[in-house]
Amino acid sequence: MSSTLPAKPLLLYFADERANAERIAQAGALNLMPIERHRFPDGELKLRLPESLPQRLVLLRSLAQPNEKLLELLLVAQTARSLGAEHLTLLAPYLAYMRQDIAFQPGEAISQRIVGQFLATLFDAVITVDPHLHRVATLHEALPAGNTLVLSGAPLLSDLIATHHSAALLVGPDEESAQWVAQAAARHGLEHAVCRKLRHGDRSVDIELPHCKLAGRHVVLLDDVASTGHTLAEAAALLLAAGAVSVDVAVTHALFDSGALSLLRSAGVSQIWSTDCIEHSSNAVSMAPVLASALRQIETAAVGEFVD
């Protein structure tokens, strides 16, 4: 072990996440370099990392549309090790494949366990935001890397909501959202409640509103992730029919597909807010300062591995 403090870590990123990488690097005073990426006509990828790497390396990759990105992580991690990196941190503001934590039907792949183990073999530390965990208590159970940190977008979304509606009613669209709604509500002393959901398919749901006063309220639907928008749209329409003055939507991960925003608008949703964990036109809250702070925690732990 060396008694000399190692150089600070380098933050690597792909071109499609440059804006977020720059925000994080600025917030954390990090060095920043892109990964060169080329796609061959047959679809194969060629990646190129900087030739000279520090011992500690951070890779930013938010795992929306994850399948090809998981291959990128494999190529980057193994190449970085071959170039001398000794401690690799994955900064994944959105972490995919976390919802399938059991086999609901015989023969189903338990993707959370498989992908989690895969990432744990590549990275020494993983930082993410609001992973979609339900039947496991901690991220480390799903992703047994040496160090895992879970952050939440709920507090910052709560701050934003409070600037618009000081007495908003926060509502979760289903029981699974309860943890994030409660956290956001507690930050500013807001009232909160949760709907019940019966899902018939990816685009077909039935919603039962909570038993609380809705008439005359400014309601904000809050969740960790939204994709098709059908659950939120159904809840919004019911809330407005029950007398809500307005319904806004706030989510950590804007996985919205091409028709989601139009669907929400047609259901009567006024404002649609998200964090920048996934780049989207609805981004209204930057997680960069929180992510940079988490990286400093990982850095403090990692430096101890290299210094006597």
Q: What is the CATH number of domain 10-152+287-306?
A: 3.40.50.2020
Low-confidence ranges of the chain (pLDDT < 50): 1-5, 307-308
Domain ranges of the chain: 10-152+287-306, 154-285
Q: What is the pLDDT of residue 1?
A: 38
103: buried, middle or exposed (CB in 10 Å: 19+, 13-18, 0-12)?
A: exposed
* DSSP letters spanning 103-155: -SSTT---HHHHHHHHHHHH-SEEEEES---SSSSSHHHHS--SEEEEE-SHH
In this structure, the dihedral spanned by the alpha carbons of residues 197, 224, 160 and 167, taken in order and rounded to 10 degrees, is 30
* CATH topology match: 10-152+287-306 vs 154-285: yes
* Amino acid at position 170, single letter: L
> In 151-168, which positions are buried (b, 16+ CB within 10 angstroms) versus exposed (e)?
bbbbbbbbebbbeebeeb
CA atoms within 13 A on the CB side of 47: 19
What is residue 249's three-state secondary structure? strand
Q: What is the pLDDT of residue 30?
A: 94
Which residue is listed with tokens 């964090």? 275
Check if CATH label 1.20.1050.10 holds for domain 154-285.
no
Give the residue numbers marked as catalytic.
197
